[in-house]
Copies of this chain bind each other. A is one copy, B any other.
Amino acid sequence: MSLTTTLRTTTPFAVNGVTYRPPARPVVVICIDGCADEYLSVSIVKGRMPHVARLAGQGYRGLVRSALPSFTNVNNAAIVTGTPPRVTGICGNYFLDPATGKEVMTNSSKFLRARTILASAAEAGRKVAFITAKDKLRELFSVGLIEHGGIAFSAEKSDQVTLAEHGINDTVKLVGQAPPIYSADASLYVLRAGAALVAAGRSDFLYLSLTDYMQHKFAPEAAASLDFYEGINREVGRLLELGAVVGITADHGMNAKNTPDGKPNVIYLESELNVQFGGGFRVICPITDPYVVHHGALGSAVTVYVPKGADLDAVARWTLDREGVTEVHTRETAARKLELIPDMIGDLYVLSGRDVALGKTPGDHDLSQLEGGLRSHGGRYEEMVPMVLSEPLTDAYAAKAAGDPRNFHIFDFTCNGVRA
């Protein structure tokens, strides 16, 4: 713990309406992508996460509510800014851009409407590092970071870093070769890199964002998953040894979406609506991203653009009647209830049940890319995620945790809410 005494106390900083007072110790926030609470529960009772179990026992373990739709970009944007999607501007991984009429991924900082906690922390003098498994998030959330001395790189492209763009140029020397993106190591690399930067005294305020490749592929009790979580546990233990205050959450949960015979359980909503109501429907799958092996762009939330002249109420009622559909909201209701921006979503917003995925048309989803059955997320059943903190909560934050805490309060809890 000798490092902790050599860190200076940092200046408090305010961003997006919250003042952060990070403790004078390394602060490490980890987003375990796709970490449904069951992954921790099962790994802990199997004895595979002793450091995390101890951390949770001494600190805090509970559930927090993520932002809907429960997708990666939506929730990483919320986490790094401390604000819901209606403030971040990131309402999906993928959307129909009203400015251009084109379908685009949100993997560019030009879509991010809120300042990040990371940039503000760097500006306030913290040595900030943002490390992500998937390169898609790297540029998106490093706005304002590098110019204030911060570091931002991905495991995926950790061998392609420059001081100018990433604030670091020796990642391979520090952590090793870039791992394959479709691997457990893509996530473990991120944690190892974080610990290496802390150990070297080069970072003391970190956001480590993993990938859900393993969770899409394996249920919590699968041997490969248990090995993966044991790996996470090892790196978290290393961060604790280095004196870090650690906050862990997830961007979304994960559920199997298969029929009893193991085939993906999918409602192809665009196809069904076109058959039923005569064409012109356009379904957008906001889970869509460059990493196709994970999910084939099938998730538990889609948005529907309804053709002019269609009876919106009738379409909504018919859609809700589909077995496996749990909620159908109009644009205005969805924007209010799901904290989204109306002109970034379609006329209807549709959520599906625990074991059901929503798609566009069979031709739009390459199921051959799915290794094993479908596991995915995006809806209400993947909304609740864990929050684990390495230190006990203050009374004020214990009260906050007892209400309706959100995963995007994780920096607030980790910086302001613990007795560190």
**Which chain A residues have a beta carbon within 8 Å of chain B's beta carbons?**
37-38, 40-42, 44-47, 53-54, 56-57, 60-63, 65, 219-221, 256, 258, 260, 262, 313, 320-321, 326-327, 333, 336-337, 353-355, 380-381, 384, 398-400, 402-404
**B45:A37 contact, CB within 8 angstroms:** no
**B404:A354 contact, CB within 8 angstroms:** yes
**A45:B53 contact, CB within 8 angstroms:** yes
Measured CB to CB, the closest approach of chain B to A217, in angstroms, equals 13
- Bound Cα distance from A384 to B41, whole angstroms: 14
Measured CB to CB, the closest approach of chain B to A377, in angstroms, equals 14
Partner pick for A403 among B54, B56, B57, B256, CB 8 A cutoff? B256
Residues of chain B contacted by A327 (CB below 8 angstroms): 327
Decide yes or no: A37 and B41 within 8 Å by CB, A219-B402, A262-B399, A403-B256 being known contacts.
yes
Partner pick for A41 among B41, B353, B403, CB 8 A cutoff? B41
Decide yes or no: A354 and B65 within 8 Å by CB, A56-B45, A327-B327 being known contacts.
yes
Residues of chain B contacted by A42 (CB below 8 angstroms): 56, 61-62
Residues of chain B contacted by A62 (CB below 8 angstroms): 38, 42, 220-221
Measured CB to CB, the closest approach of chain B to A234, in angstroms, equals 18
- Bound Cα distance from A313 to B219, whole angstroms: 42
Residues of chain B contacted by A333 (CB below 8 angstroms): 320-321
Interface pairs (24), CB distance under 8 Å: A37-B37, A37-B63, A38-B62, A38-B63, A40-B41, A41-B61, A44-B44, A44-B53, A45-B53, A45-B56, A45-B57, A47-B57, A60-B221, A62-B220, A219-B402, A260-B399, A260-B403, A320-B333, A321-B333, A321-B336, A326-B337, A354-B404, A380-B380, A381-B384
Q: How often does this chain occur in the complex, in copies?
A: 2
- Bound Cα distance from A337 to B336, whole angstroms: 23
**A256:B402 contact, CB within 8 angstroms:** yes
Least CB separation from A261: chain B residue: B399
Measured CB to CB, the closest approach of chain B to A84, in angstroms, equals 14
**B37:A403 contact, CB within 8 angstroms:** no
Decide yes or no: A355 and B403 within 8 Å by CB, A37-B41, A320-B333, A333-B320 being known contacts.
yes
**B404:A353 contact, CB within 8 angstroms:** yes
- Bound Cα distance from A384 to B383, whole angstroms: 12
Most buried by B among A41, A42, A220, A326: A41
Residues of chain B contacted by A313 (CB below 8 angstroms): 313
Residues of chain B contacted by A320 (CB below 8 angstroms): 333, 337
Residues of chain B contacted by A41 (CB below 8 angstroms): 37, 40-41, 44, 56, 61
Measured CB to CB, the closest approach of chain B to A39, in angstroms, equals 11
**A404:B355 contact, CB within 8 angstroms:** yes
- Bound Cα distance from A381 to B42, whole angstroms: 21
New A-B pairs, 13, CB < 8 Å, besides A37-B37, A221-B398, A384-B384: A37-B63, A38-B63, A42-B56, A42-B61, A44-B53, A45-B53, A45-B61, A65-B354, A262-B399, A320-B333, A321-B333, A326-B337, A327-B327
**B355:A258 contact, CB within 8 angstroms:** no
- Bound Cα distance from A354 to B385, whole angstroms: 13
- Bound Cα distance from A220 to B62, whole angstroms: 9
- Bound Cα distance from A207 to B308, whole angstroms: 57
Residues of chain B contacted by A63 (CB below 8 angstroms): 37-38
Top 3 nearest A-B pairs by Cβ distance? A355-B404, A45-B57, A45-B56
**A46:B57 contact, CB within 8 angstroms:** yes
Residues of chain B contacted by A258 (CB below 8 angstroms): 402-403
- Bound Cα distance from A321 to B60, whole angstroms: 34
Residues of chain B contacted by A61 (CB below 8 angstroms): 38, 41-42, 45
Measured CB to CB, the closest approach of chain B to A143, in angstroms, equals 32
